[in-house]
Structure 1
Amino acid sequence: MTERREGEVELTTDPAGLPPDGHVVFIGRIRSPWTSREECPRNMAQARERAAPASVEVAPDYRPGLAGLEGASHVAILTWLNRSARNLIVQKPRHALHPKGVFALRSPARPNPIGLHVTRLTGLDIGAGILTLDAMDVLDGTPVIDIKPYYASTDSVPEATVSKSE
């Protein structure tokens, strides 16, 4: 576990110890150059700056689900951030002046450590179950829980904002 910062609050029960209720399955794994949290980019912008391609290896049973994805330029990948803390409900990011609730942050430490990554699909081998990506901001071996085509016409919200208030 990581060291707690001033103002952080833990849940009374760690969600990792609760019985599962969603029956989420891992459909594959991320293959990235990142093997430690220290070297892993903090977000997709940093991952793209480092120009380190990555891939998704889809398990054999789920490969038929890739049919039709050939026409997508970008995909949204949902990952299970299995090496993240799940018991912090209020966090104090290093860059912030004040603690914030987990749902106001993009931190991987959250009750359900689901990551959302929009990335360019640079290659697709359905038979081998390999999606080649322009970048990825997660550790090698991170489980994948879903893959969806990204639709700029419906997924993009150009006027969206988040206040930088600390």
Structure 2
Amino acid sequence: MAPDAGVVFIGRIHTPWQRRADCPRNVLRAREAGGTAILELDPIYRPGLHRLEAFSHVIVLYWMDEAERDVMVQYPRHAEGPRGVFSIRSPARPNPIAFSVAAIIAIEAEHGLVEVEQLDCRNGTPLIDIKPYFSTIDSVPDARIP
């Protein structure tokens, strides 16, 4: 398929996992393993960190660049039977975009570094975006899940 649009990576994510096979299966497992992740922004995007320190949490969007992109039905371990890609959180999908809500640990804006709670990706994963988390907008306490 021809792409409909382009994505600009704004930096890279640094985690302890060097290979995809080493990565935890999800962000909860990553946080159980301990440590933190570092979001490193390219110099041109560093001014975008201005006033981020006012927030306790961010939404981190990242590109799972080693994920399969042509799998539409999967058999997840946690579910009975097959599931369509849009009903699960697997990185194998047409656009392998992952996201996590993470607490900010520290910010070094002049160096383009944001330290956050651990993430479930390999070291060097492309960073797509950072957005402030708003509990009044982003939380849905009565959301239904199977």
TM-score (norm 2): 0.95
Quote the Cα distance in structure 1 between the aligned partners of 2:80 and 2:56. 38
Pairs aligned (count): 146
Shift of 1:46: 1.3
Matched, 1:160 2:138: no
Bigger CA radius of gyration: 1
Match of 1:21 in 2: 4
Match of 1:136 in 2: 119
RMSD between aligned residues = 1.1
Question: Residue 145 of structure 1: which of 109, 128, 136 is its match?
Answer: 128
Matched, 1:33 2:16: yes
Which range moved further: 74-83 or 43-52?
Answer: 43-52
Q: Deviations over 1:85-127 (max 9, x none)?
A: 0000111113333111000000000000000111111000111
What is the one-letter code of the residue matched to 1:84? A
> Does the 8 Å contact 1:120/1:135 carry over to 2?
no
> Does the 8 Å contact 2:24/2:120 carry over to 1?
yes
Quote the Cα distance in structure 1 between the aligned partners of 2:118 and 2:12. 14
Match of 1:10 in 2: none
Match of 2:61 in 1: 78
Match of 1:127 in 2: 110
Quote the Cα distance in structure 1 between the aligned partners of 2:68 and 2:21. 15
> Does the 8 Å contact 1:91/1:99 carry over to 2?
yes
Shift of 1:64: 0.7
Question: Residue 71 of structure 2: which of 70, 83, 88 is its match?
Answer: 88
Question: Residue 66 of structure 1: which of 43, 49, 56 is its match?
Answer: 49
Structure with the largest fraction of helix: 2
Match of 2:86 in 1: 103
Quote the Cα distance in structure 2 between the aligned partners of 1:105 and 1:35. 25
Shift of 1:48: 1.4
Match of 1:15 in 2: none
Shift of 1:40: 1.1
What is the one-letter code of the residue matched to 2:112? G
Quote the Cα distance in structure 2 between the aligned partners of 1:90 and 1:22. 24
Quote the Cα distance in structure 1 between the aligned partners of 2:82 and 2:97. 21
| Identity level (%) | 49
Shift of 1:38: 3.0
